[in-house]
């Protein structure tokens, strides 16, 4: 059976005008930028749609990448809609992954990311730092290099284990320059990263502590599907683990190469990058070429994705039709705050859909026409209870029934 993963990029993937297409494609995507602006006090919509130097600041960059990824996810849900088996986010992207899976409210994620960027900038206000990507050598060799040049109070450390042949280092500018001199003498390739903040280094310990305090009272839920932790390269198992891991992530390396190995071992066959550019798609193609990897930001990849999903996922096992409906059900924003109505019209039918999906997967056969109609009834009930516009409901149903004819 095909298994889908969604991947969310982090800071550094941003580019000018990255949100223009999504604002014009999907009403819910356009709303994301407006809400991010309202909740952060920063003109996120402008950051994502215009050419502006303000996009270079760490706080603004993090807000813009988060909003752009969530907006793109809204478009993905409308155009494709299949719920993933697992998601993973690279650094900042982990917040996008948790938000799209319902673990964090978008409003909370925006405020948290605004604070995260602020805390990181303030922690480095009197520290000159930097980062560089080292390629062509093993992570162990990079670790040895960091140990060679570091000393108490002045250090560099691995910050991103991206692949078995690419490791990013981060830390004090002076020690970074010493490390790069060693690499030059050894003929090892590296690339300086255009950042001033030494992300995922112990320099940011004050930011870690302040972020942990912010998260003490934050409402967090278990995600609707598995989210792989940057710290351990395996899925979160509890709300408290999420609460403690996100602050620690600021000072700890991102275990991305191990995350890709986890995707392979989990039987993932398709991975879609949801966010600006194609960094994660390209890393996955290098490290796990057996996984079909696509970037939703690339028009050609979106076309391939739709073709692939319709020709293989739908035809191979119609249980994916239930997953598709469940994905739409959870992605639509709720506008009904009557708890009794929500329980009756959203929670109960979603549970029934989930039971049907587990039944068909366990027995290894596909839903018949009557059961597919029942799933659609559940979906309509959920969308109506959430007060989703009737025209949008009709469009969703039209996409689903068109997909069934493929």
Catalytic status, residue 91 = yes
Confidence (pLDDT) at 6: 98
State the catalytic residue, choosing from 58, 159, 170, 200: 200
226-228 and 86-89 beta bridge pairing: parallel
Residue 137 structure tokens = 């050598």
Query: How many other C-beta atoms lie within 10 A of the C-beta of residue 193?
Result: 17
* Residue of 84 and 66 predicted with greater confidence: 66
Residue 285 structure tokens = 């193609």
Q: Rounded to whole angstroms, how far apart are CA atoms 296 and 276?
A: 8
Backbone angles phi, psi at 190, to 5 degrees: -150, 165
pLDDT tens-digit readout, 360-369: 777 666 667 7
Task: Inform me whether the pLDDT recorded for 316 exceeds 50.
Answer: no
Could you tell me which of 339, 341, 351 has the C-alpha nearest to residue 384?
341
Highest mean predicted confidence (pLDDT) among 22-36, 48-62, 250-264, 332-346: 250-264
SS3 6: strand
CB of 256 closer than 8 Å to CB of 278: no
Could you tell me which of 121, 25, 114, 131 has the C-alpha nearest to residue 65?
114
Task: Inform me whether the pLDDT recorded for 65 exceeds 90.
Answer: yes
Confidence (pLDDT) at 370: 78
CB of 79 closer than 8 Å to CB of 296: no
Using the Cα atoms of residue 199, residue 203, residue 205 and residue 207 in order, give the sign of their dihedral: negative
Q: Rounded to whole angstroms, how far apart are CA atoms 390 and 388?
A: 6
Residues 6+ away with beta carbon under 8 Å from 32: 67, 70, 71, 74, 106
Confidence (pLDDT) at 68: 97
Whole-number average pLDDT of the chain:
90
Residues 6+ away with beta carbon under 8 Å from 385: 336, 341, 342, 344, 345, 346
SS3 367: coil
Over range 63-87, report the average pLDDT.
92
State the catalytic residue, choosing from 40, 69, 91, 170: 91
């Amino acid at each position: 059976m095909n298994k889908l993963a969604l991947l969310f990029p982090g800071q550094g993937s941003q580019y000018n005008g990255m949100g223009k297409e999504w604002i014009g494609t999907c009403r819910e995507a356009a709303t994301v930028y407006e809400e991010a602006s309202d909740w952060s006090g920063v003109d996120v919509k402008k950051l994502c749609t215009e050419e502006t130097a303000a996009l270079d600041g760490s706080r603004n960059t993090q807000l813009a990448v988060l909003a752009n990824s969530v907006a793109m996810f809204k478009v993905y849900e409308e155009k494709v809609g299949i719920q993933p088996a697992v998601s993973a986010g690279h650094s900042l992207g982990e917040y996008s992954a948790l938000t799209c899976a319902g673990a964090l409210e978008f409003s909370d994620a925006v405020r948290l990311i605004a604070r995260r960027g602020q805390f990181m900038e303030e922690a480095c206000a009197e520290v000159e730092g930097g980062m560089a990507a080292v390629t062509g050598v093993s992570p162990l060799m990079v670790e040895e290099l960091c140990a060679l040049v570091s000393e108490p109070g002045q250090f560099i450390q691995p910050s991103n284990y991206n692949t078995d042949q690419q490791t990013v280092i981060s830390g004090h500018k002076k020690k970074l320059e010493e490390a790069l001199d060693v690499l030059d003498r050894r003929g090892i390739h590296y690339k300086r990263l255009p950042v001033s903040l030494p992300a995922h280094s112990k320099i940011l310990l004050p930011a870690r502590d302040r972020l942990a305090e912010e998260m003490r009272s934050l409402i967090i839920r278990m995600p609707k599907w598995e989210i792989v932790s940057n710290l351990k390269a395996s899925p979160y198992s509890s709300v408290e683990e999420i609460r403690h891991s996100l602050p620690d992530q600021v000072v700890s390396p991102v275990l991305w190469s191990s995350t890709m190995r986890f995707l392979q071992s989990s039987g993932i066959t398709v991975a879609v990058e949801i966010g600006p550019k194609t960094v994660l798609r390209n890393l996955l193609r290098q490290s796990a070429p057996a996984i079909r990897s696509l970037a939703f930001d690339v028009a050609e990849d979106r076309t391939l994705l739709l073709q692939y999903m319709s020709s293989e996922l739908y035809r191979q096992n119609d249980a994916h039709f239930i997953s598709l409906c469940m994905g739409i059900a959870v992605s639509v924003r709720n506008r009904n705050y009557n708890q009794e109505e929500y329980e009756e019209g959203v929670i109960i039918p979603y549970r029934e859909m989930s039971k049907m999906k587990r039944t068909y997967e366990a027995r290894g056969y596909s839903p018949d026409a009557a059961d597919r109609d029942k799933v659609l009834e559940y979906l309509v009930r959920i969308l109506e209870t959430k007060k989703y516009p009737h025209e949008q409901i009709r469009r969703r149903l039209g996409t689903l029934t068109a997909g069934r004819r493929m």
